[in-house]
Amino acid sequence: MTYQPLLVILGPTAVGKTDVSLLVAEALKAEIVSCDSVAVYRYMDIGSAKPTLEERAKVPHHLLDVVYPDEPYNVAMYVSDAKRAIAEIWHKVKIAMVVGGTSLYLSALLEGFDLPIAPPNEGIRRKLFELVEREGSEVLHRRLQEVDLVAAQKIHPHDVVRLVRALEVYEQTGKPISSFWHDAFDAPKLIHQNALVVGLICERSELFRRIETRMHKLLKLGWLEEIQRLLDMGYSPQLKSLRSLGYREFAQVVLGNWSLEKGQQEYLRHAKAFAKRQWYWFKKRTYVHWIDTTDKNIEQVANQILELATSHLLAKL
């Protein structure tokens, strides 16, 4: 097959990408390549809202459970793994579907901007995380403003993981991380001409309601118990994996440092801020076909995507 169809479904956290993508993939007999920076870690199933084993039995998934929580994983590794998975799907003469909301991974995969050649440095990271523990994340943001104002304007003052990564790259290369971005954030263009990129969005108040509803659902499924198991296995709460959204807040609850109420409040505050940052990235992507999911069920949204796929992808087969 010379024509290689790629369908991408993206959107902010909790908008409903997983449920919709499963229906679409079943209808198209497609395989899904996850684009989630937390779902790559083993044992972190509930908090990352991975598809269940039953769902994965119906629709093959790639790039779930790639590494252990204490193993390094970054955007360069993701792009390499995702390209390999997509090629394998095409080799089966199937449609490849990329589903997720990790904007950095999506940018690198879909737009092809240059990736910084700077491997993880645990010594530098440890010093920076210790500084955050003592003085808060704002001190890293101020330091980043001094060496890379462009990156400081893109990265939220409370986004500890990306602040640490930006400073880590600078300390190792002597170059600001934004110098590796080129024009990807200002004039994004798809490098895969046959890709159909669909974005799911809804009214902000509805999205915030969905975020809160999903939080309670995941807690009921055993999110706190999952975090306790990770800690019992010897995984440090300072690991990059366990500092991801949700895990870092509820780890404080499990450790006894916060009440459950405080953990929920902090998670919702950070999740809403994260969703706003995602939307800031999404709205610059003029190649995205947007579907408003407000007041629509998953079947209606899936049917809209299938209509787009029929006219944009399947018509070229």
Domains within the chain, CATH numbers bracketed: 6-113+184-316 (3.40.50.300), 122-180 (1.10.20.140)
Helix (H) or strand (E) holding 50: none
Contacts of 78 (CB under 8 A, 6+ apart): 35, 37, 40, 63, 105, 108, 109
Walking along the chain (317 residues) 10 residues at a time, the average pLDDT comes out as 83 96 97 97 98 96 98 89 96 95 89 66 85 87 93 86 87 84 56 87 96 98 98 96 96 98 97 90 88 97 96 71
> DSSP string covering 16-73, please?
SHHHHHHHHHHHHT-EEEEE-TTTTBTT--TTTTPPPHHHHHHS-EESSS-B-TTS--
Q: What is the pLDDT of residue 1?
A: 46
Tokens 């990265």 belong to which residue?
155
- pLDDT tens-digit series, residues 52-92: 999 999 999 999 999 999 999 988 899 999 999 999 999 99
CB 131 within 8 A of CB 139: yes
Q: Is the pTM of this model over 0.85?
A: no
Q: What is the pLDDT of residue 95?
A: 93
- pLDDT tens-digit series, residues 192-213: 777 899 999 999 999 999 999 9
Q: Token pair of 208, please? A: 């915030």
Nearest-angstrom CA–CA distance, 249 and 229: 16
Q: Rounded to a whole number, what is the distance in angstroms from the first to the last CA of the chain?
A: 9
Angle at 250 between CA 37 and CA 139, to 5 degrees: 70
